[in-house]
Structure 1
Amino acid sequence: MNFDTDTGENEGYWFDLFLRKFAREFDIPWSNFTVPKFVNLAINRSEGGAEFLKLPGLICSVYMYAMKQILNHIKDNNCSNFKGLHMADAYITCKDASAMVRCVPELRYLCFRRATLSKKSLLKILRVCRDLEVLDVRGCTGFDEDDEEILELASHIPKFMCAGSHLQPDFVSGRIILPYDDEDDEEEHKEEGQQENRGQGQQEG
């Protein structure tokens, strides 16, 4: 799981072409084709053995709630060996972060390089995903690379990379402003609290 092999925005362009070709080959109307359905098909074919998922973040950012739907599908399919997620250049919303801590809290490898990621969302991930061995959030917007609270929570991660990450004016009180980044609902808050207690318990142990 070498995160340094990153082709950047071109990856999203070629992935989009592939999706369109796939839809044509199987006579699927493009209006009915979605990224979550396609990825979920691949997850289904793994029969619970999926371990690592890499997707162009720009693609999933165009399709609203794609990441949340995919993570829920991984949980529903009991992919107990799922340990790695790579989505560079993505918009990571509060709901996306909540889906991560709820569905795949035992992640070991996570890459959100050049993502739009609020400090609030990153802290949520750090407090729960205590098994992380590699966390790559280099070049992100939404938090500062020298933020003391983030560095303290990430101090246990063997390979934590955040160089070049910085704040931008589009963030208010640590919350990214996006048209589809509404607050987590009551059920998500409850499940998230349970997961955070689990992470804190592991840390104290």
Structure 2
Amino acid sequence: MAQREWENLNIDCLVEVFKWVGMESLLLSIPLVCKSWYKATLDPKCWQILVFPDIRCSEKLPRPMTMHFVHSYSLSWHHFPNASFAKFVVSRGQRSATSLVLPGICAYQALEYISDECPDLKFLGLSLDLLYHNGPVIANLISKWKNLQVLSIGHCYMLNEMFAQLRLHCKNFVGLIFCYSWIGHEEAFAIASMPKIKYLSFRKVHFHQNNLLMILQSCRELELLDLRDCSGFDYGNEIRKLASHIKTFRCERSSSSEEEDDYHYYAEEEQARLVYRKIM
């Protein structure tokens, strides 16, 4: 059998593979393999899913991936991604990005640039730190993403403000993902104010029975409800009845325990990718 020459693979096939490998590989590994692979990474379709590496303020030992990024591009730990790096990455997609996961630390200029250059965004992932430090900015920027369909958040800060923008500007919005959060009465009321929502995913979320009931009573068009690993409610007859019409309903490992886990408050990138593929 003849030896396979990887550099001669069809470029369209390479692009279909490379668009799923992630930002680190697209910037630091794949372009160094051969000229044809480098050429494939320049295709805008490889940059439609942008997951920026996260540098967390509380980390004493940053992840190897983020260290590689920072040292390779001589970036600042305190303002990453900065405007120049964001421009460099986002410009590769030629305004075609459809999925974006932002890190906890993000310079204001980078947020402005990203919002202007990603007009076709359908999926947006936001962490606790980003919402805490830039919540009002994010809420205002949502008006630029008129095609947004799914929002994944690691904290409920500025929820009402963001939802007001979603209702006003994002007519195709259908899905919410909450990871490592606490849903109180105010947060549940905000979610219930989105009655046309079709997809709700709660992972490692704590909320009381009445708050879950409020959401189920208002969001009657749900097609997917994920309550796996959640706590604070009893999966009894009342919830079963309200959720009986939902096509996909998951509640494994959920419990009525009032003890909250030691949540990390960060939306898991892989979870966001999986839900994005399932919904979109």
Q: Equivalent of 2:255, from 144, 148, 166? A: 166
The corresponding residue for 2:162 is 70
Quote the offset at 1:169 in angstroms: 3.8
Report the residue type matching 1:44 in the other structure.
S
The CA distance in 2 between the partners of 1:127 and 1:138, in whole Å, is: 20
The CA distance in 2 between the partners of 1:140 and 1:106, in whole Å, is: 23
SS at match of 1:152: helix
Structure 2, unaligned stretches of length 5 or more? 1-50, 57-79, 81-102, 112-129, 261-280
Q: Given that residues 72 and 99 in structure 1 are in contact (C-alpha distance below 8 angstroms), is that contact kept between their aligned partners in structure 2?
A: no
TM-score, scaled relative to structure 1: 0.61
- Paired residue total: 146
1:99 partnered with 2:199: no
Q: Given that residues 36 and 67 in structure 1 are in contact (C-alpha distance below 8 angstroms), is that contact kept between their aligned partners in structure 2?
A: no
Q: Given that residues 23 and 33 in structure 1 are in contact (C-alpha distance below 8 angstroms), is that contact kept between their aligned partners in structure 2?
A: no
Q: Given that residues 154 and 160 in structure 1 are in contact (C-alpha distance below 8 angstroms), is that contact kept between their aligned partners in structure 2?
A: yes
Q: Equivalent of 1:21, from 106, 130, 134? A: 106
Q: Equivalent of 2:228, from 135, 138, 143? A: 138
Quote the offset at 1:78 in angstroms: 3.5
Q: Equivalent of 1:37, from 137, 150, 155? A: 137
Computed over aligned residues only, the root mean square deviation of the Cα atoms, in angstroms, reads: 2.9
With over 3 angstroms needed to count, the CA separation of the structure-2 counterparts of 1:84 and 1:25, relative to structure 1, is closer
The CA distance in 2 between the partners of 1:169 and 1:49, in whole Å, is: 38
Residues 1-205 of structure 1 mapped to structure 2, 5 A cutoff: 14=54, 18-23=103-108, 33-41=133-141, 43-46=142-145, 48-55=146-153, 57=154, 60-61=155-156, 65-75=157-167, 77-102=168-193, 104-144=194-234, 146-169=235-258
SS at match of 2:213: helix
Q: Given that residues 206 and 231 in structure 2 are in contact (C-alpha distance below 8 angstroms), is that contact kept between their aligned partners in structure 1?
A: yes
SS at match of 1:112: strand
Computing the radius of gyration from Cα coordinates, the structure with the larger value is 2
Report the residue type matching 1:50 in the other structure.
L
- Give deviations 1:185-204, integer Å, cap 9, x for gaps: xxxxxxxxxxxxxxxxxxxx
SS at match of 1:86: strand
The CA distance in 1 between the partners of 2:55 and 2:248, in whole Å, is: 28
Quote the offset at 1:15 in angstroms: 7.5
The CA distance in 2 between the partners of 1:15 and 1:84, in whole Å, is: 27
Q: Given that residues 201 and 226 in structure 2 are in contact (C-alpha distance below 8 angstroms), is that contact kept between their aligned partners in structure 1?
A: yes
SS at match of 2:210: helix
Percent identical among aligned pairs is: 31
The CA distance in 2 between the partners of 1:139 and 1:15, in whole Å, is: 26
Structure 1, unaligned stretches of length 5 or more? 1-10, 172-205
With over 3 angstroms needed to count, the CA separation of the structure-2 counterparts of 1:136 and 1:53, relative to structure 1, is same
SS at match of 1:20: coil
The CA distance in 1 between the partners of 2:255 and 2:55, in whole Å, is: 28
Report the residue type matching 2:134 in the other structure.
T
The CA distance in 2 between the partners of 1:121 and 1:85, in whole Å, is: 16
